[in-house]
Amino acid sequence: MSKTVISVEHLSKHYRLGVIGGGTLREDLNRWWGALRGGSQHLVQLESEDFEDRKQGQIWALRDINLEVKEGEILGIIGRNGAGKSSLFKILSRITAPTSGRAVISGRVGSLLEVGTGFHPELTGRENVFLNGAILGMTKAEVARKLDEIVEFAEISKFIDTPVKRYSSGMTVRLAFAVAAHLEPEILIVDEVLAVGDAEFQKKCIGKMGDVANEGRTILFVSHNMRAVSMLCNNGIVLDSGRIVYASSAENAVHHYLNLNNRQNDSRWKVVRENKEKRCFFQNISAHNKNGEETSAFSMGDDIELRIEFYTRNIIDRIDIGVSLEHRDTGIRIFGTTTKITGNTLLNAKGRTKVHFVLPENLLAPGSYCFTLALSKEETVYHLVEAAVYIEILPARHLNPGLAKDVNFGFVSMPHSWVFNQRILNAVK
């Protein structure tokens, strides 16, 4: 049975709103003494016209977090901006202290949180590599054996003896990740900072984290790339407003997050229901899986079902529904159809009508997509809803994690097979 390497118990962290500390121990003591005497606290206030009303203000970045991470586990931590992901990582990396609770960590921790974290700007790239190795408890000889591999991975051989303060943000991220991944910490913590790098380097990093995971080391991974999380991680937790709201397998956690995010953002149907002047209009459109559950997350090859409800005030003869599917990042239309071209025009529609539209065993490649729908009669469009439903296609587990963000393979995954000449394979062996 794997041992526990990270144990978090009732961990909370809050920050005060509207004030900035002086930054030194002496000033902190002066503020504390001033508060005891009931006098001025010598605080710089932000837009604070009435400090007495604001001094009790606080924001809880984390609330009562309980978490155990096993040795060799790859844990994905997902949530919206401001959910508390970075605050949790900073506490686990010992950058900041919790307000209450505790976190017990067994093993060396390598962290990649913000651009430049852990680097001294005046030191060269080479010197920072050795500095980080020393912080992790490695000898100079151990770091020297890894240096060439780190420089090659980071692709900064020409600048390794240049002070880090002269690096671009991309160069700094490349070196920081190379150091964190190659100096062999038992626990690797990676925040969304990888988004600073270019697409090719992100693929390279995801592939490297897969290699690190195969070596049995523990990884905590934050990303808004749900494809990478579902492919790379074993388990996942969803943070919302500083609390863990869901914990399960990585795939289930991604599904929960996407559905939660979709519900929080979905206000368009309120407008539709209030749109009384339309003769014919959509009342609801939702995506469902093969079990009939409403969801935004599907795996490659899953059935995708749209459940459509529309309302017609008076009888309209020969009304058609149009559906198109677009790739969210590029806006490229992948597919389109109408009831007219398939011979399913609705005759004499009146009142509420429910329609199911099914894409069986979808051929979509991993990525983010959206459906646009329209109600029309010949050249008259009664109602058009652009990006009515968002969906995320998650990759199959057998795919290479390094391909998680790759769009060079197109937007569809066609069924195919490979046949090799057995004689050639034997000759190669």
pLDDT over 70 at 52, yes or no: no
Both 44 and 176 in a single domain? no
| CB count in 10 Å sphere of residue 371 | 23
For residue 33, being part of any structural domain is answered with: yes
Average pLDDT of the chain to the nearest whole number: 78
Determine, yes or no, domain membership for 342.
yes
User: What's the pLDDT band for 18 if we cut at 50, 70, 90?
Assistant: low
- Domain annotation covers residue 416: no
Residue 211 has pLDDT above 60, yes or no: yes
Reply yes or no on whether the pLDDT at 16 is more than 80.
no
Q: For residues 169 and 196, is the Cβ–Cβ distance under 8 A? A: yes
Q: Higher-confidence residue: 423 or 202? A: 202
Specify whether 160 is located in the same domain as 22: no
Q: Is the distance from CB of 196 to CB of 176 less than 8 angstroms?
A: no
Does the pLDDT value for residue 50 go beyond 50? no
User: Do 377 and 290 reside in the same domain of the chain?
Assistant: yes
Record the tokens describing residue 375, joined without a space: 């109600």
The pLDDT score that the predictor gives to residue 38 is: 54
Taking the CA of residue 325 as centre, how many other CA atoms within 13 Å lie in the half-sphere pointing to its CB?
23
Q: Residue 45 has what pLDDT?
A: 39
Give the chain's domain count.
3
| pLDDT tens column, 223-259 | 877 777 877 888 999 998 899 999 998 888 888 887 7
Query: Residue 93's pLDDT is what?
Result: 84
- Residue 54: its pLDDT value, please? 39
Assigned domain for 411 exists: no
Tokens at 106, concatenated = 């067994």
Same domain, 85 and 220: yes
Q: What is the C-alpha separation between 162 and 54, in angstroms, rounded?
A: 46
Q: Please report whether residue 189 resides in a domain.
A: yes
Q: What is the per-residue pLDDT across 408-428, written as a single tens digit (0 to 9) for each?
A: 567 887 877 778 776 555 554
Domain that holds residue 183: 4-9+65-260
Whole-number pLDDT of residue 48: 39
CATH number of the domain to which 134 belongs: 3.40.50.300
Q: How far apart are CA 373 and CA 391, in angstroms?
A: 14
The answer to whether residues 310 and 354 belong to one domain is yes
Confidence label for 34 from pLDDT (cuts 50, 70 and 90) = low
Q: What is the pLDDT of residue 216?
A: 80
Tell whether 164 is covered by a domain.
Answer: yes
Residues 276 and 362 in one domain: yes
- 120 plus 217 within the same structural domain: yes
Residue 258 in tokens: 């996407």
Measured in whole angstroms, how far is the alpha carbon of residue 297 from the centre of its chain? 13
Kindly state whether residue 419 falls inside one of the protein's structural domains. Answer: no
What pLDDT score does 35 carry? 57
Q: Of 207-216, 286-295, 337-346, 359-368, give the lowest mean pLDDT range.
A: 207-216
Look up the CATH number of the domain holding residue 350: 2.70.50.60
Same domain, 213 and 87: yes
- 371: amino acid identity, one letter: F
With left for phi above 0 and alpha for psi between -120 and 50, is residue 23 left, alpha or beta? left
Q: What is the pLDDT of residues 342-375, one digit of tens each?
A: 898 888 778 889 999 999 988 888 888 999 999 9
112 and 229 in a single domain? The answer is yes
Distance CA 203, CA 11 (A): 33
Is residue 276 predicted with pLDDT exceeding 60? no
In this prediction, residue 193 carries a pLDDT of 59
Residue 202 and residue 118 share a domain: yes
> Domain boundary residue among 260, 278, 310?
260
Residue 417 in domain: no
Output the six-digit token pair for 417.
């097979």
Q: Supply the pLDDT for residue 124.
A: 92
For 146-200, write each residue's pLDDT tens digit: 899 888 888 888 899 999 889 887 888 888 888 877 877 788 888 765 665 666 7
Q: Are 329 and 390 in contact (CB under 8 A)?
A: no
Residues 6+ apart with CB under 8 A from 192: 85, 86, 222, 223, 224
Co-location of 135 and 175 in the same domain: yes
Q: Model confidence at 337, in pLDDT bands (50, 70, 90)?
A: very high
**pLDDT for 21:** 53
Indicate the burial class of 55 (C-beta count within 10 angstroms; 0-12, 13-18, 19 or more): middle
**Residue 124 or 386, more confident:** 124
> 263 and 269 in contact (C-beta within 8 Å)?
no
pLDDT at 303: 93
- Per-residue pLDDT, averaged over 324-333, amounts to 84
Residues 23 and 72 in one domain: no
Mean pLDDT of 69-83: 88
